[in-house]
Amino acid sequence: MKAFRILSRNIRDAAKSVFRNFSLSLASISCITITLIVVAISSILSSNVNNFATLVEKDVTIVVFLDLDITDQTRQNVADSIRLLDNIESVTFKSKSEIANEMKESSKEFESALSNWTEEESPIQDTYLVKVEDIERIGETAKSIEKMKGVSIVKYGEGMVEQLISVFDMVRKITVGMVIALIIVTAFLISNTIKITIFSRRREIEIMRLVGASNINIKIPFMMEGLFLGILGSIIPIIAMIYGYTALYEHFDGKMFSPFIRLIQIQPFVYEVSLFLLLVGALVGMIGSWRAVRKYLKI
């Protein structure tokens, strides 16, 4: 009950204080707003790159071409041995007739060429389509499959896939690093802005000390105020981000540059980013205030 009273008083006082020191509060809020906009842009960028990378990685498939004269037993053995490998997500069988039908449907030339062969004469091989769990180990998995009896060729876009993966990995690391760096910079900026606010209120802190406020008693109201500033500062970035991303998505019709690069669906993505921005604003405001007030707590 007592803790609840202290907390509600702190919340009330923090709200009051934000308005009483309005010009300085505005400075802190603008600082938070500007940095959060940059955080919003880089997190949208980072999430989309991540999303694209994941989509591409999911599409990567190992195609296992089986020997033309393979027996049903050997074919089954190959599937079983592939499933026994540790990096396998799924194994799907695609018979030569299925492939032939797909090819026939895709163009007339194929249709006329393929219709000349009987089932036995057809050069088309039965295949297994294998998806892997860890894309970085795809080469290793492909090699193990290649050694199996009954397997003629294994293809997965060697070279290209590895390159793509390393590029994605780098972009991912850079964007995540950027977001983290930005958050740290924001915390420092806010801490300094709040320091100025608190400098003008050191008298209040002195009086608090004088009447017997403990360090926690003094810190909590300022941290609450930081929390409020953080939340207020995140409103504009959140609104800008929601409208901005929606406009971007609709303008490009969910794709960028080519149909392969798909943007993340608007919902629930914008709400997730909003929540992230709100949390970053609130936390950074609180931590900034806490850092700033520490200096005045020495006797």
Partner 1 sequence: MDIIRFQHVKKQYKTGVTAIHDLSLNIEKGDFVFIIGSTGCGKSTLVKMIYRAEKPTSGKILVGGINVAKLRDSKVYKIRRKIGVVFQDFQLLSRSTVYENVAFALEIFGLPKAEIHSKVIKALELVGLKHKAKNYPNQLSGGEQQRVAIARAIVNGPKLLICDEPTGNLDKNTSVEIMTVLEEINKLGTTIIMVTHDTDIVNRMKKRVILLDSGRILKDYEKGTYKNEGIQNTK
Contacts with partner 1 by CB under 8 A lie at: 2-3, 5-6, 9, 20, 203-204, 206-215, 217, 298-299
The answer to whether 28 and 231 have CB atoms below 8 angstroms apart is no
Sheet strands (E) in 170-276? 255-256, 258-262
Distances (CA, A) of 82 to 76, 89, 196: 10, 10, 65
Least spacing, CB of residue 298 vs partner 1, in Å: 7
- Closest to partner 1 by CB, 55 or 207: 207
Least spacing, CB of residue 205 vs partner 1, in Å: 11
Least spacing, CB of residue 228 vs partner 1, in Å: 17
Least spacing, CB of residue 208 vs partner 1, in Å: 7
Using the structure block, give the residue that is written with the tokens 């405001």: 285
Q: How many CB atoms lie within 10 A of CB 271?
A: 12
Task: Report the half-sphere exposure of 231 (CA within 13 A, side-chain side).
Answer: 9
- Closest to partner 1 by CB, 14 or 39: 14
Closest CA to 279 of 186, 140, 198, 178: 186
Least spacing, CB of residue 220 vs partner 1, in Å: 10
- Closest to partner 1 by CB, 5 or 251: 5
- Closest to partner 1 by CB, 93 or 290: 290
- Closest to partner 1 by CB, 4 or 257: 4
- Closest to partner 1 by CB, 2 or 108: 2
- Closest to partner 1 by CB, 248 or 297: 297
Distances (CA, A) of 218 to 13, 104, 116: 12, 78, 89
Structure tokens at 299: 């006797």
Dihedral over Cα of 255, 260, 266, 269: its sign: negative
Q: Which residues of 272-284 are buried (b: 16+ CB within 10 A; e: fewer)?
A: ebbebbbebbbbb
Sheet holding 62-66, edge to edge: 88-94, 127-132, 62-66, 151-155
Least spacing, CB of residue 10 vs partner 1, in Å: 9
- Closest to partner 1 by CB, 159 or 212: 212
Least spacing, CB of residue 21 vs partner 1, in Å: 9
Type and span of the H or E element at 121: none
The answer to whether 33 and 236 have CB atoms below 8 angstroms apart is yes
Least spacing, CB of residue 197 vs partner 1, in Å: 14
